[in-house]
Amino acid sequence: MGELDLVIPVREGGSGESLRYALRSMAANLPHRRVWLVGYRPPWAGGVEHIPTHQAGNTKYKNTTAAMRAVCEHPGVSDTFIYANDDFFLMEPVESMPVFHRGPVREVDAYYATRGNGSYLRGLRETRDLLVSLGHEDPLSYELHVPLPVNKRGMLAALEIGRHLDVLHKRTAFGVLAGIGGTRMRDVKVLHRGPNFNTTSPFLSTMPDSFTNGMVGRHIRATFRRPSPYETRRRR
């Protein structure tokens, strides 16, 4: 298969500092062929491919679905690619990106139900119900904040099957319908500013506030001080 392309959707605007450090972490620790930024490309980002997308959807979910479709339909992107967000950080080297899942959707549902997460929880349940209707009685969730290897054909099939859902859980729909399996792990998103996060975790993810003002952000910035090849205007 060789090295895969790395694909990161980027929202319009902002300085992209979390993206800067996400790219530093992936350049250091994740073998890949090319980097594709989908949507917005910050002025400082160089040595990357760019797929512009129209980000006028009335929700972030529609924008990310449009971005995913654009990636899967682009002939230049490798048939299997690594899909990541601009706040995913690889803290130690991997030879290739493993597949991880979060366990059964029903257990993830129970977690979010206690937090009153409106559209996200509705999308989770509608995606689960769709998968159950297709014969997947107890589907797994792939909604983790870590990179995921994605096959173009499989993802396009999942997007088509779930096209009537306005908050399709794309990673889960793809993972279940394509039967990718994987290893269970706890999510690595750090929501707070404090010190209670796993400093030995090979993967981390942040919120805007925890990256900018939290100890996890300080830890990530201290780990990746050296600029990556994907920066044309270099800092720190």
- What pLDDT, on a 0 to 100 scale, did the predictor assign at position 236? 43
- CA–CA dist 105, 112 (Å, integer): 11
CATH topology (fold) of 5-223: Spore Coat Polysaccharide Biosynthesis Protein SpsA; Chain A (3.90.550)
**Cα-Cα end-to-end distance for the chain:** 36
Alpha carbon distance 125, 128 (integer Å): 5
Burial of 34 from C-beta contacts in 10 A (0-12 / 13-18 / 19+): middle
What's the whole-number mean pLDDT along residues 94-102? 97
Write the pLDDT tens digit of every residue in 7-43.
Answer: 999 988 767 899 999 999 999 999 999 999 999 999 9
Q: Where are the alpha helices (DSSP H) in the chain?
A: 17-29, 60-73, 105-113, 118-133, 152-161, 170-178, 208-213, 215-223
The pLDDT of residue 55: 75
Q: How far apart are CA 201 and CA 96, in angstroms?
A: 17
pLDDT of residue 209: 96
Q: Quick one: tokens of 57?
A: 């959807």
State pTM to two decimals: 0.94
In the chain, where the domains are located: 5-223
219 SS3 class: helix
Q: Distance between CA atoms of 74 and 77, rounded to whole angstroms?
A: 6
Average pLDDT over residues 108-127: 89
Cβ–Cβ under 8 Å, residues 142 and 83: no
Q: Model confidence over 155-180: pLDDT tens digits?
A: 999 999 999 998 999 999 999 999 99
